[in-house]
Amino acid sequence: MLYLNGRILPLAEGRISVEDRGFQLGDGVYEVIKIEDGRLLWVEDHLGRLNGSLDQTLLAGVLDGHPLAEILPELVRLSGLRRGTAYVQVTRGAAPREFGLPTHVQPTVLAYVQAHSFPSDADVRAGVAVHTVEDQRWARCDIKSTNLLPAVLAKHEARLAGAHEALYVSADGMVREGGSSNAFIVLDGTLRTHPANNRILNGITRCHVLDLARELGLPLLEQAVHVSDLPRASEVFIASTTRDVMPVVRIGGLGSGILTPGGGTPGEVTLSLVDAMRSLIAESLADPIPRPPATI
């Protein structure tokens, strides 16, 4: 089922203008929200980040009249979906193709839900491979923009190399994040991840991983790791809405061979966070009073 500019209709019946700025210019933002047991997970966190992206792209206030906190659960209910994702996209709307910002244009607001399979226990035990690529994106990766061509190309390169995910590395060798995930590295006994600045997207799952790491008393540092230090990493994992916490057991694309963190098996820190994340998700879905949002 699709919500489009105030109407709910079958997804196949949705239509937008050829001149929509999201289609022609990538002038829009989006969110992806996990659905488990027929409920949206951390929807308040996602809608909060969506509003932040809208503010940063000069689209503040365009969701007035679009109560997504009510619309999204209704889409889930109407679809009968138990497990999957909800996709939300907001663009500046349809206008003649010019780079200047148009005035008096109605934004395009759409949302739909779809089935999605998430990693199984066997998938987590097996872990995933990542492939390093040079980060050639724009400098506002903190905005969840629909401009995703760099990620499309990076993920294609990773798949051609037999990997599940791309791993962006800056020109000066700093590990940033995955193509659609955040990266975590256990180095010298400390869990490290790139700070939430303009060079990465501050993932909702990332925020909850950090909260859980603090609750577990794990040494934690929001500081980027240089790619030359990856051979010393005892554990590596990625985190995202559709993967939760996923161990990385192989890293390629380094020009110096293949790395196998932890000997190619998931490590103790990673698995402790896998378990903690599963407990948190179960708690969040079961509790009628939502847990406070993650620290974003």
Active site residues: 144
Measured CA to CA in angstroms, residue 258 lies from 53, 168, 203, 264 at distances of: 37, 16, 27, 11
Q: Is the CB of residue 153 less than 8 Å from the CB of residue 147?
A: no
Cα gap 140→147, rounded to integer Å: 11
Task: Work out the angle at residue 67's Cα, subtended by the Cα atoms of residues 64 and 68, and round it to the nearest 5 degrees.
Answer: 120
For strand 244-252 and strand 235-240, is the pairing parallel, antiparallel, or unpaired? antiparallel
**Strand extents, DSSP E, the chain:** 2-4, 7-9, 28-36, 39-40, 84-91, 108-115, 128-134, 165-169, 175-178, 182-187, 190-193, 220-221, 235-240, 244-252
